[in-house]
Amino acid sequence: MGDLRNAERKWDFMLDHDQKIGYIRLTQFGNRAVDEMKAALEQLKQRGARALVLDLRGNPGGQLTAAVEISNLFLAAGRIVSVEGRNRPQEIYDAKPETLITLGSADYPIAVLIDSGSASASEIVAAALQDAKRAVMVGERTFGKGSVQNLIQLEGGNSAVKVTTAKYIRPSGKNIHRFPMKSKETDDWGVRPDIEVKLTPRQEVEQFLARRDRDIVRVEPSAEERAESASSPRSPNPLPRTGRRRQSSSPRSRSAAALPFSRLLPFSRASPAERSRAKRRRGGSTSPSPPS
């Protein structure tokens, strides 16, 4: 996906038309991720893009093969990732030059946006590009999900158990996975940004609302549809209209802007004062309760 849509309501992958900077947002590594990424890069190539912003924020991951193939679109050689586990041979994935897609030049600038929601396959791509010094990481440290898990069916499929069988290793040899009870902030896990940019809770909400407004496709009724609606007989007790509205000129929608800020945040992220004010508005107790 891109940042904005064009007049045909399709994603426009050119972020800056003057500087020829492309922007591609990948939300998951599913079955169509590789083909969609190739199509977006080819479109940018045809339009003369000279740089790229790859947005992996909030991407929880997906298929290992998709992560390897997408990494290979930016790398001509070198290690992408290796998989190590007990009772299984080591799996090594290296880049191949025939799948490389270049924009302007082979070493065109790439910035990768990451945050604490970037996990698993997202971290494989980010780590491969960072270790190869192919891209600059911008944002926050990633989640640290570098384990390979298999689902084993039990009781004829009525239950199952998820077992960790292997782990992902970066090209540098460093570990990706963060062990909740053992790993420390000073340990090597996940992907650290080269340029750290942290958002405040309020900025996270504003960014979410702006992103939501851009993602929604709003279709205005045609002149014929408006005329037909105006001429059709109305019920004596019409139901409230729930039609789509036009996209607001402000990135923050009016309906969301009217909500108390604390209700837009996860309960545990709101401050005690914000929780107290929110409860008073709802007529509840003013004593803060622990997050669920």
Q: Is 34 helix (H, G, I), strand (E, B) or coil?
A: helix
Tens digit of each residue's pLDDT (9 = 90 or more) over 23-79 = 999 999 999 999 999 999 999 999 999 999 999 999 999 999 999 999 999 999 999
CB burial string 115-152: b at 16+ within 10 A, e below: beebbbbbbbbbbbbbbbebbebbbbbbbbbbbbeeee
CA distance 291 to 275: 11
Identify whether 107 is a catalytic site residue.
Answer: no
Instruction: Look up residue 204 and give its two tokens.
Output: 């996270």
Phi-psi region of 170 (alpha: psi -120 to 50; beta: other; left: phi over 0): beta
Instruction: Quote the pLDDT of residue 59.
Output: 94
**Res 215: pLDDT:** 79
Question: pTM to 2 decimals?
Answer: 0.72
List alpha helices for the chain, DSSP H: 33-46, 64-72, 121-131, 201-215, 223-231, 254-257, 261-264, 272-282
Sequence ranges of the domains in the chain? 4-196, 255-292
CA max distance for the chain: 73
Question: Could you confirm whether 145 is annotated as catalytic?
Answer: yes
Q: pLDDT (tens digit, 9 = 90+) per residue, 189-203?
A: 999 999 999 999 999
- Per-residue pLDDT reduced to its tens digit, 87-113: 888 999 999 999 999 998 888 999 999
Catalytic-role residue among 115, 118, 122, 131: 131
Whether residue 212 has pLDDT greater than 60: yes
- Distance, in Å, from the CA atom of 272 to the CA atom of 72, rounded to the nearest integer, reads 47
Q: What is the CATH architecture assignment of 4-196?
A: Alpha-Beta Complex (3.90)
User: What is the CA 153 to chain-centroid distance, rounded?
Assistant: 30
The pLDDT value recorded for residue 37 is 96
Nearest-angstrom CA–CA distance, 189 and 146: 9
- pLDDT tens for 129-188 read 999 999 999 999 999 999 887 778 888 778 888 888 889 999 999 999 998 888 888 888
In the residue annotation, 131 being an active-site residue is answered as yes
Please tell me which residue in 118, 120, 122, 262 is annotated as part of the active site: 120
Q: Which residues pair with 2 in a beta bridge?
A: none
Alpha helices in 150-193 (DSSP H): none
Helices then strands, counting H and E runs in the chain, come out as 8, 12
